[in-house]
Structure 1
Amino acid sequence: MKTEFVVIDLERLEELRQEIGEEDFLEVAEMFLDEMADSLAALQATTGGAGPDVFHGLRGSALNLGFTDFATACTEAEKRALDGQPVDAVHLDWLYRESVKAFQTELPADAA
């Protein structure tokens, strides 16, 4: 199996820090992470497939945190859902978790 490299847009992370301040950054990041985790859990539990709006929302949160690869995968999932095609929720969940791991390396040591 090919190992994929997950890309985090560090410039976007810095923009977010500048926009909201370092003090609020961790709280906002946690909010986005929680929203994405909840959406993915609901997606895993759905038997009939999710609508494109779920993937659109995931993409928005992902872009806010600079989860470039995950956002791209959400865009593709949204297109598939619009076309009535199945979406690989397991892959999306994996890519989210890998993105979180890469993201955590960018957090201050006392935030982990």
Structure 2
Amino acid sequence: MKELQREIGEEDFAEVAAMFLDEMAEALAGLCNATGHAGSDAFHGLRGSALNLGFADFAAACAEAEKLASEGQAVDTDHLNWLYRESVKAFGTDLPAAAA
């Protein structure tokens, strides 16, 4: 997260972080409400956003979900959703108020 903050600047970071968080929350909501197996692309996108914010554990879980999905296996999206929320909580004090 600090690297992203340095790259785009303090002023724009809150907006960009909020965008990543909104996109991840929306994607997860869609995955949790979907019936059937999700494609690996959905988890790939989540992984990229998670890495940009420094959510290492969530990114690792998304990488595993991406692998499972590419093999046609089911993914525990409820666990991913929980891990996302825990990641936001863990980084909450480092995230700008507009993003958290």
Residue identity matched to 1:92: L
Residue in 1 that maps onto 2:9: 21
Deviations, residues 50-89 of structure 1 (Å, cap 9, x unaligned):
1000000000000000000000000000000011111000
Output the CA distance in 2 between the equivalents of 1:43 and 1:96. 13
- Greater Rg, structure 1 or structure 2? 1
Q: Equivalent of 1:50, from 21, 38, 41?
A: 38
Q: Does 1:82 align with 2:70?
A: yes
Q: Equivalent of 1:91, from 70, 79, 91?
A: 79
Residue in 2 that maps onto 1:3: none
User: What residue ranges of structure 2 are gaps of 5+ in the alignment?
Assistant: none
Residue identity matched to 1:58: L
Q: How many correspondences in the alignment?
A: 99
Q: Equivalent of 2:61, from 57, 65, 73?
A: 73
TM-score scaled by length of structure 1: 0.84
Q: Does 1:59 align with 2:47?
A: yes
Residue identity matched to 2:2: E
Shift of 1:107: 3.0
Q: CA RMSD in A?
A: 1.2
Runs of 4+ in 1 over 3 A off after TM superposition: none
User: What residue ranges of structure 1 are gaps of 5+ in the alignment?
Assistant: 1-12
Q: Equivalent of 1:41, from 29, 35, 44?
A: 29
